[in-house]
Amino acid sequence: MDILKNYIDGCYQAPINNRYLNNIEPATGEVYGKIPDSDIDDLELAVIAAEKALPAWQSMPLEQRADILYAIAKGIECQLEALALAESIDNGKPVSLARIVDIPRAASNFKFFAHACSQFSSESHSMTNTATNYTLRQSIGIVGCISPWNLPLYLFSWKIAPALAAGNCVIAKPSEITPKTAAMLGQICQDAGLPKGVLNILHGTGSGVGSAICTHKKIKAISFTGGTKTGAAIATQIAPQFKKLSLELGGKNPALVFADCDFDDTVEQVFKASFANQGQICLCASRIYIEQSLYEKFKVALVAKAKALKPQDPLEKSAKMGAIVSKAHLDKILNYIELAKEEGGILLTGGQQVTLSERCRNGYFLAPTIFEGLTNQAKCNQEEIFGPVITLQSFSSDEEALSLANESEYGLAATIWTNNLSRTHLLTEQLNTGIVWVNCWLLRDLRTPFGGMKHSGLGREGGNEAMRFFTETKNVCIKY
């Protein structure tokens, strides 16, 4: 049995209350480990450690800080295979995906922000013949980072790396559903020479230690990625404390497919955008709008690809689709599938749980699922399902496509598939999403602002946006 510990003050420690939660492998449905059910007492230890470590970390020369972050990236790369395997077991994602996306990207996050901290500059405003203003950007102090289960180490490091790069000490909590690679990161940081107390990793529930991190008075900023409801609860809870808050929340992302698209490539890319990581990426497309004249042809091609995609043991090298992350999440998705039928949806493929044999006979597998015939107002077109379930609708003009896409409480990401340049510019200006991909999906440059509008979040991550979030701004005005 794999028993995890918290990583506090540079060492692994059991939770003070000695309480543990089960860690379940989604592909088998079996408990394979225990994780600390930490509480405020563990958090207090982490805060004391972070307070102690803060002055030296804040004043460490940038080059030295960057070297440590590079060494963490190297440590992740050296453990690529072990981390990919751990991620796949914990989350149910194909090990091949963890190997080529999740883990390399976690290393890139540390590399990127190692570099960014040495390039980060601030502004100066001259008042001719009177004064000069310059802006100091200083680290905040102790910050909290809370991440979800869908891209465990990838999103955990996407927060921790800029927070550390900006000179903060961090108290971080991974999702209790996927804690393993976060636990492994502690050792990697230690081996890389990260001073003890600079990063503290606590395991436990969101309502327990997660909430305690958000409200702790000595934690001055919270960077959160997760569901919109949780984001709203955190925002409500910490509003009276006026701490900095970054929220990366849910999505219900539209894909707009026009008749003039490159057909084969678009089918391939929309298919990936729909079902990668079992549809459990906040950026996955779930509402597919297709121009009327292309609708039937596109539908037939997409459905054929979905029928050919079979869930497999995620540890199989050939697996392209793994398990849903938990029984509770599988049930939630299955409920939405029933709801889609009640709402008048026509099931084109999938729609049911899949039973595999042997080791995976009790795992949480679901066939890729496609519906058509739902109205845009149907709950299944308005609420985030966060699984391998998409809906198809047709449109007959650019205006209609835009209106359907924008008719959502969410505003994270949209994709447009067309070869018409004017249309591309007009739509990108008018789509209410934080990210628009044109003829591509998930093509990421870490310098770009990342995040959503409306109920998809508050603030942006990535590049200088993240460095700004994790620093406090002070204007200095010097009169001549």
CB nearer to ligand NDP: pick between 52 and 332: 332
User: Which one of the spans 207-215, 398-406, 421-429, 441-449 is the region binding ligand NDP (CB under 6 A)?
Assistant: 207-215
- Residue from 132, 205, 241, 353 in contact with ligand NDP (CB under 6 A): 205
Q: Render 415-451 in DSSP notation, one character per residue.
A: EEE-S-HHHHHHHHHH--SSEEEES-SS---TTS-B-
- Residue from 36, 75, 206, 311 in contact with ligand NDP (CB under 6 A): 206
Number of H-type helices and E-type strands within the chain: 16, 25
CB distance 156 to 182 below 8 Å = yes
CB nearer to ligand NDP: pick between 99 and 173: 173
Active site residue: 248, 291, 384, 461, which one? 248
CB nearer to ligand NDP: pick between 185 and 192: 185
CB nearer to ligand NDP: pick between 26 and 457: 457
Judged by CB under 6 A, how many residues of this single chain contact ligand NDP?
33
DSSP state of 260: T
3-state helix, strand, coil in the chain (%, to 5): 45, 25, 35
Query: What track of x and - describes contact with ligand NDP for positions 219 through 258 (by CB under 6 A)?
Result: ------xxx--x--xx-------------xxxx-------
Residue 214 Cβ vs ligand NDP, minimum distance, rounded to whole Å:
5
Q: What angle do CA 231, 232, 237 make, to 5 degrees?
A: 100
User: Which one of the spans 23-31, 69-77, 186-194, 201-209 is the region binding ligand NDP (CB under 6 A)?
Assistant: 201-209
248 is catalytic: yes
Q: How far apart are CA 416 and CA 423, in angstroms?
A: 10
Residue 80 Cβ vs ligand NDP, minimum distance, rounded to whole Å:
22
Q: Which of 321, 310, 331 is nearest to 279 (CA)?
A: 321
Interface with ligand NDP includes 175 (CB under 6 A)? yes
Query: What track of x and - describes contact with ligand NDP for positions 112 through 131 (by CB under 6 A)?
Result: --------------------
Residue type, 446: L
Q: Which 22-61 positions form the footprint of ligand NDP (CB under 6 A)?
A: none
CB nearer to ligand NDP: pick between 226 and 322: 226
Q: How far apart are CA 480 and CA 478, in angstroms?
A: 6
User: Which one of the spans 3-11, 52-60, 127-135, 203-211 is the region binding ligand NDP (CB under 6 A)?
Assistant: 203-211
CB distance 38 to 68 below 8 Å = no
Q: What angle do CA 451, 453, 455 make, to 5 degrees?
A: 105
Interface with ligand NDP includes 282 (CB under 6 A)? yes
Residue 387 Cβ vs ligand NDP, minimum distance, rounded to whole Å:
10
Q: How far apart are CA 431 and CA 415, in angstroms?
A: 10
Q: Which 367-406 positions form the footprint of ligand NDP (CB under 6 A)?
A: 384, 386
User: Which one of the spans 31-39, 143-151, 308-316, 425-433 is the region binding ligand NDP (CB under 6 A)?
Assistant: 143-151
- Residue from 24, 43, 83, 146 in contact with ligand NDP (CB under 6 A): 146
Which regions of 336-469 does DSSP assign to beta strands (E)? 346-349, 353-354, 365-366, 369-372, 389-395, 410-411, 413-417, 435-438, 453-454, 457-458
Active site residue: 117, 169, 189, 282, which one? 282
What is the SS3 assignment for 79? coil
Q: How far apart are CA 351 and CA 38, in angstroms?
A: 38
Q: How far apart are CA 424 and CA 414, in angstroms?
A: 12
Burial track 183-195 (b if 16+ CB lie within 10 A, e otherwise): bbbbebbbebebb
Interface with ligand NDP includes 408 (CB under 6 A)? no
Residue type, 281: I
Q: How far apart are CA 243 and CA 217, in angstroms?
A: 9
CB nearer to ligand NDP: pick between 363 and 387: 387
Integer-rounded Cα radius of gyration of the chain: 23
282 is catalytic: yes
Residue 246 Cβ vs ligand NDP, minimum distance, rounded to whole Å:
10
Catalytic annotation, residues: 248, 282
Interaction site with ligand NDP (CB under 6 A): 146-150, 155, 173, 175-177, 205-207, 210-211, 214, 225-227, 230, 233-234, 248-251, 282, 384, 386, 412, 452, 456-457
